Amino acid sequence: MPHFTFSPYFILLFSLFGFGQHAVTTSGGDGSNTDGKVSYSIGQVFYQTEVNNTHTVSQGVQQPFEISVLQVDSNVKSSFQVAIYPNPTTQYVTLELKENQLDAFQFQLFDGSGKAISKESPIMQQQTPISFDSLPSGVYFVTIKNNNHPIQTFKIIKK
């Protein structure tokens, strides 16, 4: 019966043709300017986030940044202005309503399938925090209502 011995040369030969830390991605690329350089890829698994006072970097995935207006009622006066930030979020979003008559406005939170996960809540101040602390990561929708009529819906991403 032949005896095969692993030698350092044999191991070195086959390790030269191996791929380590190789990710299957759908797309990617590089970008640079005078302020810095970035490499990105789409399709890897998210695995680590670094945060300091001014920046957040999430490694492994091109991070989503979406603010989408999904529905607007044409009967609402044109001066109606609403903003929801930050999006994506990890803990809470701030609903900012630039309107003088707040007593007629409410908001409600829905999960990605459209199921209501909070009761309709009145908007009592121009900047209203909405907590996402107890919710798992995913896609949520915040619907703004005026006199119980939906007027605008925002898509929120919870990381």
Residue 47 covered by a domain: yes
Do 85 and 41 sit in the same domain of this protein? no
Q: What are the C-alpha distances in Å from 109 to residues 61, 114, 124, 148?
A: 27, 9, 16, 14
158 pLDDT higher than 70:
yes
Number of domains in the chain: 2
Model pLDDT for residues 69-79, shown as the tens digit of each residue: 666 555 555 45
Residue with tokens 């209501």: 116
- CA–CA separation, 24 and 84 (whole Å): 34
Query: Which letter does DSSP use for residue 61 in this model?
Result: S
**Residue 144 structural domain:** 69-158
Model pLDDT for residues 20-54, shown as the tens digit of each residue: 555 556 667 777 777 777 766 666 555 567 778 77
Do 105 and 37 sit in the same domain of this protein? no
Do 54 and 75 sit in the same domain of this protein? no
- CA–CA separation, 127 and 149 (whole Å): 21
Model pLDDT for residues 118-146, shown as the tens digit of each residue: 998 888 888 999 999 999 999 999 999 88
CA angle 81, 68, 24 (to 5 degrees): 155
The answer to pTM > 0.85 is no
